[in-house]
Structure 1
Amino acid sequence: MKTGRKLSWWKFGAVTLAAIIALTGCSSASNKEGNTSPAKAEETKAPVQGGELTYALATSPVSLDPHTNGLAVGVRIINNLYDNLVVQLPDGSVKPWLAKEWTISEDGLTYTFKLRDDVKFHDGTPFNAEAVKFNFDRVIDPATKVSNAFALIQPYQSSKVIDEYTVEVKLASPSQAFLRNISQGTLGIVSPTAAKQYGEQFATHPVGSGPFKFVKWDENSEIVIERNPDYKWANETAVNQGAPYLDKISFKIVPEEATRIGSVQSGQVLAAETVPPQNIVSIKNDSKFQLLSTNTGGLPYTLFINQRKQPWNELKARQALQSAIDVTSIVKSLYLGTYDQAWSPLAPVTLGYDASLENGVKKDLDKANGLLDELGWTKGADGIREKDGKKLTLHYVDASPNREKRNDIAAIIQQQLKEIGVDVKVDITKDYVNQIFVNDDYDIYGNSQVNADPNSLYPFYHTAAPTGRPTLHGYSNAELDKLLEDGAVEKDEAKRVEIYKQVQHHVIDNALIIPIYVFPYTIAASNRVQQIKLDALAYPRFNDTYLTK
């Protein structure tokens, strides 16, 4: 199913519940859309122990250390190797997992977690309060070289071990997002013993306490995980609270989309993610296969305009891009109605999403040309604008491979901006991390983030700390900073929603970004595969998964 645009937060639970419903292996249309309950499926088929699930991924992870991983594809494996202190349910509520219970001080600065006493990591190390302290401190340690985990754990300050199974966590300021954030895969709990033993090599030698254990990683080819026979501490989203039914999962790295979907249809793999738009209908209509799809929350795929580069520090120049880029035609032509267009820095299923922004920005070449004329950029004989002897160029950087047709978006925008006299230089690179985050060598770069809370906007749009990573757009505004700070601590949900609506309008009104699409996570699978589930953030979980003959 695809989630609708105008969903309030309480409705988010009903929508995402359908995402947690399993791929049941039935051939009816309703089951392909994930509309049959797991309980009903269990009445007709008993789970089968054993077997290997082969699962094709669209890209390769960069790390299986949750704290240093920066890609959503990594979380699809990480979530099955590690556990978290808490779990977020489909209705947005947070429930116990490795933490049995917790209390929060009146000032919102101290969280005291009571932990399970029966959990062991894959290397035999016991899980306890010392392990929690080690993990949280590791995330804020610059030596760890963390990625998204650092932003998620903010405003964490310190931890104190009260006793073996009680830990006290201090925050620098209250945070309405903290519990939801620590439920995410990138804050999974790692084995302190293994993390110390492997150091930076922990990224390829992961050790958690999850339902599956790491076996091997053949770079750009395959990642294999196997059943953890000692597992007995699943969270309440799993029907199976013990060890998984599957013996093994082999994740195949298959970037080329035709090859990836073809491998499912030919039986080379049993399941594959990110189904190409042109194959959605055929999979739905083929009784041998099933399809699961749900829109992700957080930040949609968005093009950030780098204001550290001229002339994009000028509002009118950015507004010209905003008016010249025809996002509607891009989304329709590339995704054939299977992706929703993004209109905001937030995805529609996220708390605080402002639907009033929809259809607010439209293609207007006259406006775009007029804005550039006002800035003194005039068209030369070759149709490219010039000013003070300098051509108007835009350096558009994107990553390789062509994930979700993002390279194709760059090519289309190159042609669209040529119409208003902008010479777009498209740079597709595997070394995007250094080019973007180290060398600041770009004018436009696209990014997205799966997240459960609108506070995910904070690290992307709040003025960066002097020693922190610069924002992708380089914009700094005291009013926007204050809104983001207020949104992080506001306890009244209705007031919080209004704050984030103001944030979204500020971002769009100041043309900081070009929102492109909302990503629907899709899985095509053989009908032999039973009970793959997507969690509240649309990541696959395999606790309940089994295979039929």
Structure 2
Amino acid sequence: MRRRHVAAIVVGAGLVSAGCGGGGTSGGGTPKPGGTLVFAENGQEPTCLDPHGNASSDGPVTTVPVSDSLVWFGADGTIRPWLADSWKVSRDGLTYTFVLRKGVRFSDGSSWNAAALQALEHMRDPATKSPLAAAYIAPYKDSKVVDDDTLQVHLSTPYSPFLDILGQGYLGMISPKQIKEAPQTICEHPIGSGPFILDKWVKGQSITYHRNPGYDWGPAGARHTGPAYLDKLEIRFLGEDGTRYNALASGEVDAIDFTPPQNVADVKADPDLGFLSAIRPGHPMSFWLNTSRAPFNDVRVRQALLAAVDRAAIIKGISFGQYQVAQGFVTSSTPGYASGLAGRIAYDPAKAGRLLDAAGWTARDSDGIRTKNGRRLTAYFPIDPTFPAQRMQIAVQTQAAAKKVGIDIRLQTPSTQQVSDRTRVGDYDLASGLWATNTADVLWIEYDSANITTPKRQGQNVARLSDGKLDGLLQAARETTDQAERTALYNEAQARLIELAPAIPFYDDPRPVAFKKRVHGLSFTPAYPSPYFYDTWLDR
């Protein structure tokens, strides 16, 4: 899931760095059509292949081959045409008028037109059960077909990230015929206008695709026109890090996603392998603290735990020096990242002790755990059985650091369903995950009080933070059309979050991809650093 490990992970636009080849792509040379690329993913297989119906970090990998987006991100972060030829935004930011690209067809023969763009309605339809796309377009009010190639979209409030979000694979376009006539088939077999057509999904094993022979509407940032080079694409799910890396080393697969950090140095040293990596924009991998109940309803206790944990030492150890320690509550690749706040979260166990003393936790029991009014300073951390091994190492080391200053963190291992149920009702003190997206609006998703889960609405504010000042900053940033003002508001919001300490941010999550040198033209989609196969070809 996009962020679940008490709830889920995942991604957006970013600064892509390439270990091989320039511009965030693999290889060079003259493209040669044909062949099958076998690409190994980790174990985060989507439960649904409808781009609007999943939030898995593997979601775009599996859906972008078949579904195109309305706009494309340039390498410089500018928004460029794709299925939309052009657009205009009204002065008040409430109306977007899209003029659509001509000649595009879905693989079932249906046309791309203004009525097809009304798939925005499918994204927010409760029947779609969208955990992500619907939240991203929450300000969408309605739309009006002006003519066959023009759609006017109306928002309920100004929403500055609207175009950014429309570039993500999670909002790719699906056949209007399928939406109307067979919506129940979209999860298993989505039909789009993309460069590949889905053949078969064998759950737990693989997804296979073949080239769309009529494709001729690649994005503005593509390196060629016409159909994809590859005859076929196979995405194989190999959850175990060692298994995935060994499959690459042996030649069983051509490329792997999420290269294990312990193998990165070997990949870079191997002349037969190439390497691409991008820091995923959005929220860092973090442990959220439930601010709605004791002990973390006291900001001093939250600040104390944050100061007690040597994040740099932990991350260096568990990532073999490959991960970048988070400096705040958005990653360094996120547009709007407040670089001036770097270093504000410091390891200082003496400060942690002073804060706990000030909060009244001055006594200690025979185990060294602080007490107040006869109650131990205890926090419960329910961990999903599928919790990645690296995160478990972070949890264990965080537990040890907390104990040194007198905080007892109890690591629990209930079933996945129990973790989900407890998350929904707020029965936890710590939770883990990240949320990647291509704007600093991730802060609204994660920390605005409107996004606290209620019996009527599933929200993403796992910290259950409610702060009027922060809410005001984030809403103002969403609504302003002035870039400088938006940047200033997000900077202030990030500074406010460091004060509030609703989470322990550990690392900016990378997406490292390793591949055989016979693979060329492999790249990341700029709107969400996910492998993109349209320009990929094999030197056979």
In the superposition, the TM-score normalised over structure 1's length comes to 0.89
**Matches of 2:233 and 2:67, distance apart in 1:** 15
**Matches of 1:180 and 1:139, distance apart in 2:** 16
SS for the counterpart of 2:265 is: helix
Alignment of 1:83 with 2:74, yes or no, is no
Look up the equivalent residue of 1:461 and give its one-letter code. Answer: Y
**Matches of 1:497 and 1:336, distance apart in 2:** 34
Q: Which residue of 1 aligns with 2:350?
A: 366
Q: 1:166 aligns with which of 150, 155, 180?
A: 150
Change (3 A) 1:38 1:521: closer
Look up the equivalent residue of 2:439 and give its one-letter code. Answer: D
Look up the equivalent residue of 2:326 and give its one-letter code. Answer: A
Change (3 A) 1:17 1:469: closer
Alignment of 1:490 with 2:480, yes or no, is yes
- How big is the shift at 1:404? 7.6
Q: Which residue of 1 aligns with 2:51?
A: 66
SS for the counterpart of 1:291 is: strand
Change (3 A) 1:241 1:403: farther
**Matches of 1:225 and 1:497, distance apart in 2:** 41
**Matches of 1:40 and 1:326, distance apart in 2:** 39
Q: Which residue of 1 aligns with 2:134?
A: 150
SS for the counterpart of 2:450 is: coil
- How big is the shift at 1:287? 0.7
Q: 2:468 aligns with which of 472, 475, 478?
A: 478
**Matches of 2:138 and 2:187, distance apart in 1:** 22
In the superposition, the TM-score normalised over structure 2's length comes to 0.91
Q: Which residue of 2 aligns with 1:538?
A: 529
- Deviation larger for 410-419 or 509-518: 410-419
Q: 2:300 aligns with which of 316, 321, 325?
A: 316
Q: Which residue of 1 aligns with 2:445?
A: 459
Contact residue 33 and residue 293 of structure 1 kept, 8 A: no
- How big is the shift at 1:522? 0.9
Contact residue 87 and residue 98 of structure 2 kept, 8 A: yes
Q: Which residue of 1 aligns with 2:176?
A: 192
Contact residue 58 and residue 403 of structure 1 kept, 8 A: no
**Matches of 2:287 and 2:383, distance apart in 1:** 10
Look up the equivalent residue of 1:540 and give its one-letter code. Answer: P
**Matches of 2:330 and 2:468, distance apart in 1:** 21
Contact residue 62 and residue 70 of structure 1 kept, 8 A: no
- How big is the shift at 1:367? 2.5
Contact residue 338 and residue 491 of structure 2 kept, 8 A: yes
**Matches of 2:418 and 2:35, distance apart in 1:** 38
- Deviation larger for 351-360 or 497-506: 351-360
- How big is the shift at 1:201? 5.0
Q: 1:208 aligns with which of 189, 192, 202?
A: 192
Q: Which residue of 1 aligns with 2:405?
A: 420
- Deviation larger for 268-277 or 295-304: 295-304
**Matches of 2:256 and 2:192, distance apart in 1:** 25
TM-superposition CA deviations, 1:470-492 (whole Å, max 9, x none): 42111112211111111112233
Contact residue 154 and residue 178 of structure 1 kept, 8 A: no
Q: Which residue of 1 aligns with 2:233?
A: 249
Q: Which residue of 2 aligns with 1:228?
A: 212
**Matches of 1:458 and 1:436, distance apart in 2:** 23
- How big is the shift at 1:82? 0.6
Q: Which residue of 2 aligns with 1:33?
A: 20
- How big is the shift at 1:200? 5.1
Change (3 A) 1:49 1:427: farther
- Deviation larger for 497-506 or 441-450: 441-450
TM-superposition CA deviations, 1:363-399 (whole Å, max 9, x none): 2223323333343433221233344454332222444
Look up the equivalent residue of 1:307 and give its one-letter code. Answer: T
Change (3 A) 1:293 1:441: same
Q: Which residue of 2 aligns with 1:28?
A: none
* Long gaps (5+) in structure 1: 1-11, 20-31
- How big is the shift at 1:222? 1.3
- How big is the shift at 1:418? 2.0
TM-superposition CA deviations, 1:443-500 (whole Å, max 9, x none): 1112222222212221212121675434211111221111111111223322221111
Matches of residues 85-484 of structure 1 in structure 2 within 5 Å? 85-133=70-118, 135-199=119-183, 202-377=186-361, 378-403=363-388, 405-428=390-413, 430-431=416-417, 434-435=420-421, 437-464=423-450, 467-470=456-459, 471-484=461-474
* Long gaps (5+) in structure 2: 1-11
**Matches of 1:37 and 1:260, distance apart in 2:** 22
- How big is the shift at 1:293? 1.3
Contact residue 25 and residue 523 of structure 2 kept, 8 A: no
TM-superposition CA deviations, 1:335-366 (whole Å, max 9, x none): 12211100111111222212232222222223
More helix by share: 1
**Matches of 2:117 and 2:366, distance apart in 1:** 64
Contact residue 20 and residue 26 of structure 2 kept, 8 A: no
Give the aligned CA root-mean-square deviation in angstroms. 2.4
Contact residue 277 and residue 336 of structure 1 kept, 8 A: yes
- Deviation larger for 162-171 or 383-392: 383-392
Q: Which residue of 2 aligns with 1:4?
A: none
Contact residue 385 and residue 421 of structure 1 kept, 8 A: yes
Look up the equivalent residue of 1:33 and give its one-letter code. Answer: C
Look up the equivalent residue of 2:392 and give its one-letter code. Answer: N
Q: Which residue of 2 aligns with 1:26?
A: none
Contact residue 104 and residue 193 of structure 2 kept, 8 A: yes
**Matches of 2:418 and 2:74, distance apart in 1:** 34
Alignment of 1:525 with 2:509, yes or no, is no
Q: Provide the aligned length of Structure 1 versus Structure 2.
A: 521
**Matches of 1:88 and 1:483, distance apart in 2:** 26
Change (3 A) 1:457 1:98: same
